Structure 1
Amino acid sequence: MSGAEAAWASTLSFLPKLGMFLIILIVGYFVAKWLAKLTNMLLEKVHFDRAVERGGIKRVLEKTKFDASDIMAKIVFYAVFLLVLQFAFGVFGPNPVSDLLQRIILFLPTLFVALLIVVIASAIAKAAKDILTIALGNLSYGPFLAKLAGVAIVTIGVFAALSHLGIAPAIVNGLFYALLAIIAGSAIIAIGGGGIAPMRAQWEKAMRRMETEAPRLKGEAQKVGEVAGQKAETWVKSGEENAPRPIYTPKP
């Protein structure tokens, strides 16, 4: 077989594969769009946006033109379309593009869990900050403690997500331990390096302040459980009110 005949035979064998590739790509694109639209519609129906906003993500989404339902719908679209691309490129047999797509698809569940960790940590931080702000609002250091608790919870959540992703685990763990070492080392140096007398004076001042605010602190501490219970009850009632009502059809 001459070179021209071999090229023509190769072209003839390639054209059916190209046609199948285009058909799979076009059909898969519309299927992915339909699934994304269906996801958005279902999430809007169950009031997913309100639930996410209560978790403290509202400020982040305000800077974008998308709400939580739109973002989840786009995630569904790109996840499905990646599967479509892998299936479409598989028509040509083993190739580097299919291998790359397979690695990306296998990484998606890990990425989803990491994002879920950050979202849950943000929700817990928002709830803890709200409860502490309400419960300790009458104390001079109440707002500071509330912000500190929120930042600490989000920081732990971010490090947990990075650790789950396995992105340079040695560096991530090293940064976390380094942060703790910096805090502890700064305290040791500040106290030990000629700071014992000033720290003693500040400690005595803090003790006098705590003795002064002890009755108020006791009263505020008793409110923490009540505030947490009321907030949880409010969220539950809000969820029940926003839940979709079943359609009742009387039996004939």
Structure 2
Amino acid sequence: MKELPNLTEVLISTLTKLINQFVDFVPRFIFATFILLIGYLVAKGLAVVTNKVLERIGFDKIGDKLNEVSIVKQLQTEVKLSQIVSKVLYYFIMLGFITDATRTLGVGAITGLVEKLVNFVPQLIVAAIMLQIGVLVSEAIKNAVVSICKSFNVPSAKLIGTIVFSFFLVITIISALGQAGINTELLESSFNLLIGGIILAFAVGYGFASKDILANILSSFYNKNRYEEGQIIQIDEVKGQIVSLDSTSITLQTGDTKTVFPLQTLQSKKVEIFKN
């Protein structure tokens, strides 16, 4: 029959191991704390210097452009890139020192987690830069579309510009998420189906609603070299001098009054041109 272990010896052995582990842990804890303190001072100092340098070289002007974007205005927040960059730099440096501190402590689980965060930060920075550039490009495309639509007197120019802006913004967000390491296959598939349905419905509905305007715009290309302001013409029974000619209509001075015809009238009606 085996003898039972001496309870006193077991307690003493366990207590001795705990004391030895504690004695071994305390210096490592102190050294890890010292590393964190040095890391905080270095990160804070570099962040402050970076913030001041970026402010002086005018880096915040890019942020000012972002603040003018409609979606940023709606968020009622101010983007100051010098502060954002300095804070990212601060946390990136701190994560590096935290990694060294956890290695000193010898806690493998914490060290692995911190290392994953450190490796994730560069991807996050690239994704943020992509998102910033995407917002600026989307806003520029939106303004260009609105200007073109207004020049052709296309109704709902702002609505079309907003749709175009949203389209490119979503593409930018999906690309940024992919850069950050997030699986976006399902999101991309859903977005493609949604956009395809919206474009088809919009094209059909807007085509029927704007067919007269499009006909006038096409007529302006066909007739831009035939007619000019100052000419005297007659459309059916209406005779007058051309006083205005734009992309959708033509205006005749007929005595004391003015008569406005849609440009497609020049294609469908009999038009006589008189010499001045």
- Normalised by the length of structure 1, the TM-score is 0.70
Q: Secondary structure at the match of 1:2?
A: helix
Equivalent residue number for residue 95 of structure 2:
82
Higher relative contact order (CA 8 A, sep 6+): 1
The answer to whether 1:168 aligns with 2:183 is yes
The answer to whether 1:118 aligns with 2:118 is no
Indicate if the aligned counterparts of 1:125 and 1:153 stay in contact, CA closer than 8 A: yes
How far 1:47 moved relative to its partner?
Answer: 0.7
How far 1:137 moved relative to its partner?
Answer: 3.9
Indicate if the aligned counterparts of 2:63 and 2:80 stay in contact, CA closer than 8 A: no
Inter-partner Cα distance in structure 2 for 1:57 and 1:86: 39
Inter-partner Cα distance in structure 1 for 2:147 and 2:58: 27
Structure 1 144/66 Cα, relative in aligned 2: closer, same or farther at 3 Å?
A: closer
Equivalent residue number for residue 31 of structure 2:
20
- Map 1:232-247 to 2 at 5 A: none
Higher strand share: 2
Of all paired residues, the percent bearing the same amino acid is 22
Inter-partner Cα distance in structure 2 for 1:55 and 1:168: 27
Indicate if the aligned counterparts of 1:52 and 1:58 stay in contact, CA closer than 8 A: no
- Normalised by the length of structure 2, the TM-score is 0.65
How far 1:138 moved relative to its partner?
Answer: 4.1
Indicate if the aligned counterparts of 1:56 and 1:123 stay in contact, CA closer than 8 A: no
Equivalent residue number for residue 167 of structure 2:
152
Inter-partner Cα distance in structure 2 for 1:151 and 1:184: 13
Indicate if the aligned counterparts of 2:35 and 2:101 stay in contact, CA closer than 8 A: yes
Indicate if the aligned counterparts of 1:56 and 1:122 stay in contact, CA closer than 8 A: no
Structure 1 207/132 Cα, relative in aligned 2: closer, same or farther at 3 Å?
A: closer
Equivalent residue number for residue 36 of structure 1:
47
Structure number, greater radius of gyration: 2
- Map 1:39-58 to 2 at 5 A: 39-55=50-66
How far 1:184 moved relative to its partner?
Answer: 5.2
Equivalent residue number for residue 85 of structure 2:
72
Indicate if the aligned counterparts of 2:99 and 2:115 stay in contact, CA closer than 8 A: yes
Indicate if the aligned counterparts of 1:57 and 1:122 stay in contact, CA closer than 8 A: no
